[in-house]
Amino acid sequence: MTDLTKYRNIGIFAHVDAGKTTTTERILKLTGKIHKTGEVHDGEATTDFMEQEAERGITIQSAATSCEWDGHRMNIIDTPGHVDFTIEVYRSLKVLDGGVGVFCGSGGVEPQSETNWRYANESEVARIIFVNKLDRMGADFYRVVKQVEDVLGANPLVMVLPIGIEDDFTGVVDLLSRKAWIWDDSGLPENFKIEEPPADMADAVEEWREKLIETALEQDDDLMEAYLEGEEPSIEDIKRCIRKGTINLDFFPTYCGSAFKNKGVQLVLDAVVDFLPNPTEVKPQPETDDEGEETGEFAVVDPEKPLRALAFKIMDDRFGALTFIRIYSGKMNKGDTVLNTFTGKAERIGRIVEMHADERIELDGAQAGDIVAVIGMKNVQTGHTLCDPKAPATLEPMVFPDPVISIAVAPKDKGASEKMGLAIGKMIQEDPSFRVETDEDSGETILKGMGELHLDIKIDILRRTHGVDVEVGKPQVAYRETITQRIEDSYTHKKQTGGSGQFAKIDYSIEPGEPGSGYEFESVVTGGNVPREFWPAVQKGFQASMDRGVLAGFPCLDFKVTLMDGGFHPVDSSAVAYELAAKAAYRQTMPKAGPQLMEPIMKVDVYTPDDNVGDVIGDLNRRRGMIKSQEPGPTSVHINAECPLSEMFGYIGDLRTMTSGRGQFSMEFLHYMPCPKNVAEEVIKETKEREAEKK
């Protein structure tokens, strides 16, 4: 039975190039997990093992690893910093208990750090801050601390002060113990001395220490009172208060150093152990029933409880699919059968492994609080809950928005289509926000994703990782069609060949339905003019036709068909005849019912600095956007708007130009709305031209 208080599940997140991966490398070296540190800029980092990562020097996938420090076990996830992989960060934050936010000493708080910080606030993850790269030109620890206050609206609790700056950076002063940690120039983390702080820093140390103690003691009224009366609290008491405040998200202990030069990392590790929560101190996950309603039960971290685990990431490698799992309660052993509540199917646990980037150590079992990977699961996807078959429950599922942008891809070499199919299949499993479908008419493969850059990387992975060279078409918007008028009509299907023929007569009405109602069918036939057994055939005929609208061939939404009357022949009528009659009736009536083109409207959230609000709103209006609200925040103004997707291509580039790179936006699908006439005409013309080219 392992002691859960000795566990720390933490993530390392930050902006691109703040030094997350380098910090992870140093932690692994210090904890004795690796013996030679790999460098990002040499393309040799342990956690960046994808080709694209080594080449670009960026992290794309979150990598998981675990190590020991001071008798505590740490499960560390190194997350990507790049804006288009925030889904990776989001997924990781979901299952972590604490995090280390890394900021660059000269770059400070950058836009992506804001996004990640916002995610972490939403997921209520306790964090400590590490200001890295203090050995760089232009680094300024105090400026970054100020930025964290102003830009992130957070409360940094300064725990150490740097000694020297830029090239003269030699070490840090630990404010609690008033001791200086000085490293030599060998670059080895273990070569340090603990001595008295430099005399010229004595005033600054006292000033900041006082600030630190006052902030920390706000967590405990009795200690505060004693302190105001002149009693010095013990280091243990202060640490206890800091821990409480960190877990409550009241402040964030802030450290500094240079991960690359191996200075200051030990103190961060100590802080993870001292101040970040263990699995039992985090709010337990609520359980839900099949409908997604909360049951009032919680997945409490306890190995004796029934099993509750969440699959938060799937990664495909040369050995097959790896499913990363965070176990919230209960135990999981090799050979167990568990229930996947999403599919309702049982899964057998084959091999359980502890991951160290892309190496693995076999385990016999794991328990509440662990993060492990399971090999060979069949139908498990990201966000699925695995539980005890005898006591099923679902953890709050992860919500992934539907993709809204699509591009057509075709392999350059005709023989590679099977290879492309397999590669895309693997990629879908890994990334739930990425979808694929085949266009029936042209046989093209259509990739769908969340944004332009998202699809860019996917195509790069196709080309590089899987070796499939593809041609890429222009981005397409997913339009729909509907009708605006009620029409009553009749259709008779007659076919006389030798022997029995086909006969079916239907009288029907087609009318517009409520938005979002889809397709409805009702029969009000009385007196047996259309026998009851043929009604489903009529329903099926109309339903089969709705995939293709009459304007430009987009699927048709929100209409109702009522079968009113008809006629039949005792010999010649059959289900097939009625189905054919319904299909022909659809083609006959739909053009008369005022067909209309619908376009996807997106809910757009833009975060922009104060100075650029006017430009951003003006630009959204030009894109046919509706501004719903604007709220000033601590760091930026949040504009909420609704905008047609077709107008949003290339938006990120324009937004960054307007806001000098500080603007951020996210968008998700909201609903379909009728297209303005001039836009609709243009779309229909383009679609017809494309059709003509294919023929």
Phi, psi angle pair for 221, to nearest 5°: -60, -40
**Distance (Å, whole) CA 161 – CA 256:** 7
Tell whether the model's pLDDT for residue 373 goes beyond 60.
yes
In this prediction, residue 86 has a pLDDT band, given cuts at 50, 70 and 90, of: low
Question: 3-class DSSP state for residue 68?
Answer: strand
What sign does the dihedral 350-352-356-361 (CA atoms) show? negative
Separation CA 649–CA 661 (nearest Å): 17
Dihedral, 549, 555, 561, 563 alpha carbons, nearest 10: 70
Q: How many Cβ atoms are within 10 Å of 150's Cβ, its own excluded?
A: 12
Query: Which tokens go with 77?
Result: 């996830």
SS3 of residue 178 by DSSP: coil
CA distance 557 to 628: 26
When mean pLDDT is compared across 91-105, 286-300, 647-661, the lowest value belongs to 286-300
* pLDDT tens digits for range 34-73: 444 444 444 444 444 344 444 444 444 445 677 777 778 7
Residue 556: DSSP 8-state: B
- Contact in structure between 323 and 349 (CB atoms under 8 Å): no
The pLDDT assigned to 400 comes to 60
- What residues contact 311, with CB distance under 8 A and at least 6 apart? 323, 324, 325, 377, 380, 381, 382, 383, 384, 385, 386
| Between 20 and 326, residue with greater pLDDT | 326
On the question of pLDDT at 421 being above 60, the answer is yes
Q: CB neighbours (10 Å) of residue 284?
A: 17
Q: Which residue has the higher pLDDT, 427 or 597?
A: 597
> How many alpha carbons fall within 13 Å on the CB side of residue 45?
28
Model pLDDT, residue 399: 60
The DSSP letter of residue 26 is: H
- 30 or 671, which is more confident: 671
Radius of gyration of the chain (CA): 31
pTM: 0.61
Could you report the per-residue pLDDT of 293-310, keeping only the tens digit for each? 666 667 677 777 888 888
pLDDT digits (tens, 9 = 90+) for 543-588: 888 888 888 778 888 888 888 888 888 777 788 888 888 888 888 8
Fill in the amino acid letter for 311. A
The 8-class DSSP code of residue 550 comes to S
Kindly state the DSSP code that residue 233 receives in the 8-state scheme. Answer: P
CA of 381: how far to CAs of 321, 341, 388, 389, in Å? 11, 11, 18, 18
List of E strands, 388-444: 394-395, 405-411, 435-438
The per-residue pLDDT of the chain, averaged, comes to 76
